């Protein structure tokens, strides 16, 4: 069984903002890799700085490092032919998680995606967060961006690295087993499943500088870890005393999470949400807005990020109190992430880390966020309210089709 949600005090966790900070650290780690690189991402785009990450994978594979790359069948799909040929020639092993097939997303089981962004190098260094392999100034649907995408990741060492390595190794071998079984290579499939059950990586002692931190990896999947990320949020919100700040790209929390935020605000906790202000996708933009009313009425402050696309999935609670809590990961607070996708968040209980994240979020709210006025929200145009309700209804219908309640 993959270990997860096990807090220990032997970690060093460093916050990284945007691809501008993540990619150089990632490439440096790959160039220093000695034995293996495990890499999972929802989107792998080879435009701009994304190509530099691909080049680092190729260099590692060429010098004999075992290099495994898993991309999602919706987020990435088939790799570009030229890059696929280069990766294969270098020895990079890559696999596509849940390719869509001829019926695409018409089949509800295809809505279960690989949304986590994880990289483990040599079983001792972890990168985890919300940042895809995607240039900060490039969007596949909207082209060149005027300002960088707002997102975060962490670089971490310590015992949580083993949990990340375990879950990635198990998924890799299970995917190989499914492939072999479909090709009727049953002996190879059985061997892959046995390898998955035995796969383990021992994490080396933390090597980053600074005092050790208390942290854990929190996973979400559709087997053992169906609700761990949401429960981690609800526990932290329920014990908040002073302040809650959440930055989330696609924000459509279920009833329990909404009530937790409302109750926190009513007991005097300052609750601030930094949410997507630019239109990106119809469903995610409009389906979120019907839930704002109850939050605003309870005194929750909502800020919409406007300069570029907000893609962060982070939160910080009581950063300056005696029980600081922060999380950085891939999970949105919406039904796609909390009910269907494979997700991974790192939770850190450390004052210095929480304060660093808090300062960046407060700066974004003050300098790049537009605070939502409750009166203007209540008086928004009829057309917008109709679109909001249509999107909200479609989202609920989709959940009903999958058999989930939210």
Per-residue pLDDT of 325-335, as tens digits, reads: 999 999 999 99
Per-residue confidence at 179, pLDDT binned at 50, 70, 90? low
pLDDT reported for residue 209: 67
**End-to-end Cα distance, the chain:** 27
Averaged pLDDT, 148-154? 98
The DSSP bridge pattern shows strands 270-276 and 243-248 to be: parallel
Question: How many Å is the Cα radius of gyration of the chain?
Answer: 21
The DSSP bridge pattern shows strands 301-305 and 270-276 to be: parallel
In angstroms, rounded to a whole number, what is the distance separating the alpha carbons of residues 272 and 319?
13
Is residue 205, in this structure, part of any structural domain at all? no
In tens, the pLDDT along 218-262 reads: 999 988 898 999 999 999 999 999 999 999 999 999 999 999 999
pLDDT reported for residue 92: 98
Boundaries of domain holding 188: 8-198
Instruction: Using the 3D structure, point to which of 171, 198, 225 is the last residue of a domain.
Output: 198
Averaged pLDDT, 40-56? 98
Percent of the chain with pLDDT over 70: 91
pLDDT reported for residue 206: 41
Is residue 2, in this structure, part of any structural domain at all? no
Domain co-membership, 122 together with 247: no
For the record, the structure tokens of 278 come out as 């630019």
Is residue 166, in this structure, part of any structural domain at all? yes
Query: Is 60 exceeded by the pLDDT of residue 202?
Result: no
Averaged pLDDT, 96-101? 91
Q: Look up the CATH number of the domain holding residue 188.
A: 3.30.870.10
Residue 343 near residue 219, CB atoms below 8 Å = yes
Averaged pLDDT, 148-175? 96
Averaged pLDDT, 298-311? 96
User: Based on the number of CB atoms within 10 Å of its own CB, is 224 exposed (0-12), middle (13-18) or buried (19 or more)?
Assistant: exposed
In angstroms, rounded to a whole number, what is the distance separating the alpha carbons of residues 235 and 290?
24
Report which of residues 244 and 78 the model is more confident about.
244
In tens, the pLDDT along 102-150 reads: 888 888 888 999 999 999 999 999 999 999 999 999 999 999 999 999 9
pLDDT reported for residue 180: 56
Q: Give me the active site residues, please.
A: 115, 117, 122, 311, 313, 318
Is residue 29, in this structure, part of any structural domain at all? yes
Is residue 294, in this structure, part of any structural domain at all? yes
- Give the contacts of 177 (CB within 8 A, at least 6 positions apart): 188, 189, 190, 192, 193, 196
Is residue 93, in this structure, part of any structural domain at all? yes
Residue 23 near residue 155, CB atoms below 8 Å = no
Domain co-membership, 163 together with 263: no
Structural domain count, the chain:
2
Using alpha carbons, select from 4, 23, 41, 6 the residue that is nearest to residue 341.
41
Q: Where are the beta strands (DSSP E) in 235-388?
A: 243-248, 270-276, 301-305, 313-317, 325-329, 343-349, 369-371
Report field, pTM of the whole predicted structure over 0.75: yes
Domain co-membership, 76 together with 37: yes
Averaged pLDDT, 34-50? 97
Query: Is 90 exceeded by the pLDDT of residue 93?
Result: yes
User: Based on the number of CB atoms within 10 Å of its own CB, is 123 exposed (0-12), middle (13-18) or buried (19 or more)?
Assistant: buried
Q: What angle do CA 134, 135, 141 make, to 5 degrees?
A: 70
């Amino acid at each position: 069984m993959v270990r997860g949600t096990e807090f220990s005090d032997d970690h060093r966790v460093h916050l990284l903002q945007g691809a501008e900070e993540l990619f150089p650290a990632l490439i440096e780690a790959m160039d220093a890799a000695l034995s293996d690189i495990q890499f999972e991402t929802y989107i792998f785009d080879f435009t701009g700085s994304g190509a530099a990450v691909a080049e680092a994978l190729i260099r590692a594979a060429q010098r004999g490092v075992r290099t495994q790359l898993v991309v999602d069948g919706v987020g990435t799909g088939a790799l570009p032919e030229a890059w696929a040929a280069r990766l294969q020639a270098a020895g990079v092993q890559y696999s596509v998680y849940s390719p869509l097939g001829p019926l695409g997303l018409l089949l509800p089981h295809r809505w279960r995606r690989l949304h986590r962004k994880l990289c483990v190098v040599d079983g001792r260094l972890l990168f985890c967060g919300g940042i895809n392999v995607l240039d900060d100034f490039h969007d596949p649907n909207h082209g060149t961006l005027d300002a960088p995408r707002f997102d975060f990741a962490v670089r971490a060492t310590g015992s949580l690295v083993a949990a990340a390595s375990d879950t990635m190794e198990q998924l890799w071998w299970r995917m190989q087993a499914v492939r072999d079984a479909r090709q009727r290579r049953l002996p190879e499939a059985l061997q892959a499943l046995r390898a998955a059950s035995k796969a383990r990586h021992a994490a080396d002692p933390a090597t980053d500088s600074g005092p050790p931190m208390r942290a854990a990896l929190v996973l979400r999947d559709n087997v053992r870890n169906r609700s761990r990320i949401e429960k981690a949020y609800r526990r932290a919100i329920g014990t908040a005393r002073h302040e809650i700040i959440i930055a989330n790209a696609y924000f459509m929390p279920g009833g329990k999470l909404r009530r937790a935020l409302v109750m926190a605000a009513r007991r005097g906790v300052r609750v601030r949400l930094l949410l997507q202000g630019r239109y990106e996708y119809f469903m995610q933009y409009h389906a979120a807005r019907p839930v704002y009313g109850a939050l605003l009425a309870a005194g929750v402050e909502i800020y919409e990020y406007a300069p570029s696309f907000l893609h962060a999935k982070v939160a910080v609670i009581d950063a300056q109190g005696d029980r600081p809590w922060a999380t950085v990961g891939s999970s949105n607070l919406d039904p796609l992430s909390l009910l269907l996708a494979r997700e991974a968040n790192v939770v850190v209980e450390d004052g210095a880390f929480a304060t660093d994240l808090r300062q960046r979020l407060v700066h974004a709210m003050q300098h790049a966020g537009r605070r939502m006025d409750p009166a203007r929200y209540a008086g928004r145009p009829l057309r917008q309210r109709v679109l909001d309700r249509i999107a909200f209804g479609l989202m609920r219908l989709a959940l009903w089709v999958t058999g989930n309640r939210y």
